[in-house]
Amino acid sequence: MRLAELSRRSGVSAATIKYYLREGLLPPGERVTATQAEYGAEHLRRLRLVRALVQVGGVPVARAREVLRAVDDAGQDRHGRLGAAVWALPHGPEPEEDDPVTALARERAAELTARLGGSGHGEGQAEGPPHRMLVSALAALLRLGYPCELEQLLPYGELAARLAVHDLDVIERYEPGNAQVEAAVALTVLYEPVLLALRRLAHAAESERRYAAPERRPPAGPVSPAAGEAGR
Amino acid sequence: MRLAELSRRSGVSAATIKYYLREGLLPPGERVTATQAEYGAEHLRRLRLVRALVQVGGVPVARAREVLRAVDDAGQDRHGRLGAAVWALPHGPEPEEDDPVTALARERAAELTARLGGSGHGEGQAEGPPHRMLVSALAALLRLGYPCELEQLLPYGELAARLAVHDLDVIERYEPGNAQVEAAVALTVLYEPVLLALRRLAHAAESERRYAAPERRPPAGPVSPAAGEAGR
DNA sequence: ATGATTGGATAGTGTCACTCTCCAAGGAAT
DNA sequence: ATTCCTTGGAGAGTGACACTATCCAATCAT
| DSSP symbols for B20-76 | HHHTTSSPPPEESSSS-EE--HHHHHHHHHHHIIIIIS---HHHHHHHHHHHH-TTS
> How many whole angstroms separate alpha carbon A140 and alpha carbon A181?
33
Please tell me which residue, A122 or B158, carries the higher pLDDT value: B158
- Which residues 6+ apart lie within 8 Å of A231 measured at CB? A204, A208, B83, B86, B87, B122, B124, B125, B128
Query: Residue A114's closest CA among A129, A125, A99?
Result: A125
> How many whole angstroms separate alpha carbon B142 and alpha carbon B154?
16
* Residue B222: per-residue pLDDT: 45
* Residue A125: per-residue pLDDT: 64
Mutate to test the interface with B, among A10, A132, A194 (most CBs of B within 10 A): A194
As a whole number, mean pLDDT of residues A215-231 equals 43
Please tell me which residue, A84 or A216, carries the higher pLDDT value: A84
Which chain B residues contact residue A192 at CB under 8 A?
A: 196, 199
Query: Residue B67's closest CA among B90, B41, B48, B45?
Result: B90
Q: What is the mean pLDDT of chain A?
A: 87
- Which residues 6+ apart lie within 8 Å of A104 measured at CB? A139, A142
As a whole number, mean pLDDT of residues A179-183 equals 90
Mutate to test the interface with B, among A45, A199, A208 (most CBs of B within 10 A): A199
Q: Which of residues 155-214 of B touch A (CB under 8 A)?
A: 155-157, 159-168, 170, 183-184, 186-188, 190-213
CATH classification number, A3-87, choose in 3.30.70.1290, 3.30.420.40, 1.10.1660.10, 1.10.3720.10: 1.10.1660.10
The structural architecture, per CATH, of the domain B1-56 is Orthogonal Bundle (1.10)
* Residue B182: per-residue pLDDT: 92
> How many whole angstroms separate alpha carbon A34 and alpha carbon B133?
44
Q: pLDDT by residue (tens digit) across B78-117? A: 888 988 999 999 998 998 888 999 999 999 999 999 888 7
Please tell me which residue, B114 or B212, carries the higher pLDDT value: B114
* Residue B223: per-residue pLDDT: 43
Asked if residues B186 and A138 have their Cβ atoms less than 8 Å apart, the reply is: no
Q: Is the pLDDT of residue A9 over 90?
A: yes
Q: Work out the pLDDT band at A77, boundaries 50, 70, 90.
A: confident
* Residue B47: per-residue pLDDT: 97
Q: pLDDT by residue (tens digit) across B146-198? A: 999 999 999 999 999 999 999 999 999 998 888 889 999 999 999 999 999 99
Percent of chain B with pLDDT over 90: 67
* Residue B177: per-residue pLDDT: 84
Q: How many CB atoms lie within 10 A of CB A65?
A: 18
Q: CB contact, 8 Å: B24 with chain A?
A: no
Q: What is the mean pLDDT of chain B?
A: 87
Q: Is the pLDDT of residue A145 over 70?
A: yes
Question: What size, in residues, is chain A?
Answer: 232
As a whole number, mean pLDDT of residues A68-91 equals 89
> How many whole angstroms separate alpha carbon B230 and alpha carbon A82?
11
Q: Work out the pLDDT band at A115, boundaries 50, 70, 90.
A: confident
Q: Is the CB of A29 under 7 A from strand D?
A: yes
Using C1' positions and the CA of A4, the closest nucleotide is D7
Q: pLDDT by residue (tens digit) across A18-68? A: 999 999 999 999 988 888 999 999 999 999 999 999 999 999 999 999 999
> How many whole angstroms separate alpha carbon A96 and alpha carbon A130?
15
* Residue B48: per-residue pLDDT: 96
> How many whole angstroms separate alpha carbon A175 and alpha carbon B49?
46
* Residue A213: per-residue pLDDT: 62
Residues 168-187, chain B, CB closer than 7 Å to nucleic strand D: none
Which chain A residues contact residue B45 at CB under 8 A?
A: 144-145
As a whole number, mean pLDDT of residues B53-77 equals 93
**DSSP per-residue string spanning B123-175:** GGGTTSHHHHHHHHHHHHHHHTT----HHHHHHHHHHHHHHHHHHHHHHTTSP
Which chain A residues contact residue B134 at CB under 8 A?
A: 193-194, 197-198, 201
* Residue B170: per-residue pLDDT: 93
Q: Work out the pLDDT band at A89, boundaries 50, 70, 90.
A: very high
Backbone φ and ψ of B193, nearest 5° = -60, -30
Q: Is the pLDDT of residue A73 over 90?
A: no
Delimit the domains of chain A by residue range: 3-87, 100-209
Measure the N-to-C terminal CA separation of chain A; round to a whole number of Å. Answer: 48
Q: CB contact, 8 Å: B79 with chain A?
A: yes
Lowest mean pLDDT among A71-80, A124-133, B207-216: B207-216
Nearest-Cα distance to chain A for B87, in Å, is: 7
Q: Is the pLDDT of residue B44 over 60?
A: yes
* Residue A78: per-residue pLDDT: 85
